[in-house]
Structure 1
């Protein structure tokens, strides 16, 4: 939802469109694999059949 707004803003600031898109994709992926949401972590734990706590909460 914010991609069109941020892309126009970054283009006005002088960023190359490919660089801006790459950074945007990397930032979204980091958000998907880290807590507190970690949507991809929950999907990986359900596919592997292991409990989320056993796989990702080792201290």
Structure 2
């Protein structure tokens, strides 16, 4: 049992690190740059920029 825990420990850390890296990618890059039909085919960043510029112009 002790040997098995020692073998699984690095895997668990690697898995946790992989999960964290994927989550960070999704939150920082994919969600900000992915084009969305509900926002007139703009990314969230582009949509926000357009919204802010439209509000300033009005």
TM-score, scaled to structure 2:
0.39
Larger helix proportion of the pair: 2
TM-score, scaled to structure 1:
0.38
